[in-house]
Each structure stands twice: as structure tokens, then as C-alpha cells.
Amino acid sequence: MQGVYIGDNKILTYMEWNANLIVPSNDLSLTPSLVTNGHIELGLTNFFRKNLKPGNTVVDIGANIGYFSVLIGILIGPKGKLIAYESNPYIYAFLMDNLSINYLHDRSSVYQCAVYSSSKFLQFYASKRFMGNSSLIQHSKTYHKHYIDEIEKVQVKAITLDTHLQNITEIDFLKIDIEGGEYHAFLGMKELIQNKKIKTIIFELNPGMLQEQYTPFIKLLSNLESQNENTFSLLSKDGTKVPTSVEALTSLNGYPYVVMDLRTS
């Protein structure tokens, strides 16, 4: 057991990589694993632990309660830069607290907004029971067959990375896990990609959450693969990259962490 209840629907947990996190006790998505195991998503956790270096600039889109943001902040050190985005107002408060209790605000810029293809206000579908499943895309009937959940509609501000990060010179790693919002996030960072400002993107491929955006997202990835000679990999449990292709990705029923290494020269 890695956690203790501290009141107000909060559990203080200890991660196996030596950090404390405060997590919502009423969440059924991330909290059970964090409390019992002290980690989630071992493939991406181990990848970051192997590859992040002091001084790196890392963007965390869909930061949630801050599991990866805190890990990133520790690994990049005080000379590094973490830029994190979380649109769920309830979860955003946990993200801020977790950066605070690990003393990482000196290297962090955190924004309560969604990352999208245009700057506007959007409807956000916040899951009240499986909080990690919150999305800009309305949950399907298939989703509700698998999850006994309650969804609250919230208005959130959305930005594009092309505008929001236009003054940044280089991004070493950019992680996206926004439950089906990945296609529009990619559309909103076309210029960053074209200008070769991003070295590596790690994203979730979730057909069930992407819904009708899955096919255009695959087409976008195929174009990036063929036009720019970018390479794709999957992450094994120990964080090792296993080469793949966009065509091979379509034969999978999704994958939690796909790595795209971008050609920057």
C-alpha cells in the first residue's frame, strides 16, 4: 500500500520513483494503481526515466493530477522547463498541489486550458468517476457500456500550441494524452512541426475515444511519416522503443504510448 487518506476526498501517495502525490480518493481510473503500486503506465514512466536529461524542455498535454509532470520536473532539474496543460478544473487543482509539494514550480509553467486546433471556448466532458477518461469528445454509447460513469459538461478555454508556444526555440519531448483530442492537438501544432522545433512526440492512439476523428488522424500521421521521414515506435514495458509504422498501427486496437521521432535537420 502506497497511500494514506488525508481527508477531503484526498489520498497522499508515494511513488516508486521517490515523489509524493495527492490523488482524488473518488477517482476509479488512476487512483487505484497509484495507491496500490506507486506507478501507472510503466512503459512511458520507464521511457522518461531513461531518456529525460537535466535542462530538457518538455511539454505535458493532458497532465491530469501531475503524475508525469512531477516525474518530468524531477528529471529535468532546475535548469529544465516543464510546460503543462490540464483543462479539467477539478483535476487542475491536484496538478498544482502536486507540483507544490514536490517543489517544482521553479521550472514549471502550468495552464488550465485545452490544447486544440483553434483558440476558442469548447465543451469539455468531465468524467466524475473515471476522471482520467474526461475528454473534449462526447463519450459514446460503447463507452457507457464499459464504464458506469457520470459525465459533467464544462466550458473550457482552448489554445493552439502554434500560438501559445510560438516563442519557444526547441522542445525535447512533447507528451499528449487527451482521450481522443489528439487529432485536433496535432492540427494546432503544424507550424511547430514544420519548423522542426519538436524532437519527439509521445501520444496515445485510442480509436474508441477518437471516434470519427480516428481516420483523419491516421491520415495526418501517414503524411508526417512519408513527407518528413519521421519514425514511429511503440514502447515496451521497460521503456524500450520498438520500431513500427503508421500502417502497422492501424492493425492494433489502439496503443497507450506511440513515439514519433521527428527529423529536425
Q: What percent of the chain has pLDDT over 90?
A: 96
Question: According to the model, what pLDDT value does residue 193 have?
Answer: 96
Whether the pLDDT of residue 206 is over 90: the answer is yes
CA pair distance 106, 20, nearest whole angstrom:
17
Q: Provide mean pLDDT across the span 177-199.
A: 96
End-to-end CA distance of the chain: 47
pTM above 0.85, yes or no: yes
Domains defined along the chain, listed by start: 3-261 (3.40.50.150)
Question: According to the model, what pLDDT value does residue 263 have?
Answer: 82
CA distances from 203 to 130, 180, 233, 237, 259 (A): 20, 10, 11, 16, 7
Q: In this structure, are residues 27 and 132 in contact, taking their beta carbons and an 8 Å threshold?
A: yes
Q: Provide mean pLDDT across the span 92-110.
A: 99
Give me the half-sphere count of Cα atoms (radius 13 Å) on the Cβ side of residue 85. 24
Question: According to the model, what pLDDT value does residue 1 have?
Answer: 64
Quote the Cα angle for 115-120-117, to 5°. Answer: 45
What sign results for the dihedral spanned by CA atoms 59, 62, 68, 70? positive
Whether the pLDDT of residue 130 is over 90: the answer is yes
When the pLDDT of each residue in the chain is averaged and rounded to a whole number, the result is 96
CA diameter of the chain: 53
Nearest to 173 by CA among 150, 149, 191, 199: 199
Q: What percent of the chain has pLDDT over 70?
A: 100
Q: Provide mean pLDDT across the span 118-143.
A: 94
Query: What is the per-residue pLDDT across 45-85, written as a single tens digit (0 to 9) for each?
Result: 999 999 999 999 999 999 999 999 999 999 999 999 999 99
